[in-house]
Amino acid sequence: MSITKESELLGMQKASDAVAYTLKEMIDYAQPGMSTKELDQYGAKILSDFGAKSAPHLTYGFPGWNCISVGNEFCHGIPSVKRILKEGDLINIDVSAELDGFWADNGASFVLGKDIRQHQKIVNASREILEKAINNIKDGVKISDIGYIMETEAKRRGFKIIKNLSGHGIGRSLHEQPDEILNYRNRFDQRRFKKNAVVAIETFISTNSTYAIELNDGWTMVGNNGGFMAQHEHTIVVTDGKPIILTEKNGIFN
């Protein structure tokens, strides 16, 4: 969507605060021995208290409130009583929701407890790349140039990017134009970011793979060449200068 009046900005901020606070609280709540189902239900309660509804459930019928992916799962992991979190796990939580007709999206990867499996490096890379990408977005900037920043920064750190996952426009629904805000430069993409546009910018930084493939459960995605992936995501408003980070309260840049 494009913000055209103050009430729309306030509506987007309210929805973004809900998903940002929920994500931060879920990360803090996660601990070894807990199931991803329990973690999801904790997040669901927080969203419900805001009056928000799960965006993936509303839009796609996703079997949970939030996507929780663990280990070699890249994204869209289904919360389960059977999936028990362990010390050192690489975890990704993606929280998106609808509140009073406005939709917001954010996500983060993190290491649970001690970094005994050496995942912190990719987590840090994903976070830093997202921050650099967002800091370069303003009115008139080519969408593909932001993809170029993401790809080159990933390569510089020894990582790859996932080519079939992307950021997207958001606001009055979960996925809007501009779609396919990719993590690499598509030289055929001549689109530019426009002032007042609301977009969800997200990284997909990988150790081994360049494509995500779906498992038989119809949701969970893993890498075509295995390995691990880290993702961080903010919902932002494009301006003439630095973007407004609507989901800043998730604290992922702190």
Q: Is 175 annotated as a binding residue?
A: yes
Residue type, 111: V
Interatomic CA distance for residues 149 and 167, integer angstroms: 14
Q: Is 168 annotated as a binding residue?
A: yes
Q: Is 38 annotated as a binding residue?
A: no
Residue 174 tokens read as 């979960």
Interatomic CA distance for residues 105 and 245, integer angstroms: 11
Work out whether the CA dihedral 45, 82, 63, 57 comes out positive or negative. positive
Interatomic CA distance for residues 106 and 22, integer angstroms: 10
Give the residue among 202, 180, 185, 189 at the shortest CA–CA distance from 147.
Answer: 185
Q: Is 234 annotated as a binding residue?
A: no
Q: Is 131 annotated as a binding residue?
A: no
Sequence-ordered list of residues with C-beta below 8 angstroms from that of 120, at least 6 positions apart, any chain: 111
Residue 117 tokens read as 């499996």
Q: Which residues are annotated as a binding site for a divalent metal cation?
A: 94, 105, 168, 202, 233
Q: Which residues are annotated as a binding site for substrate?
A: 76, 175
Q: Which residues are annotated as a binding site?
A: 76, 94, 105, 168, 175, 202, 233
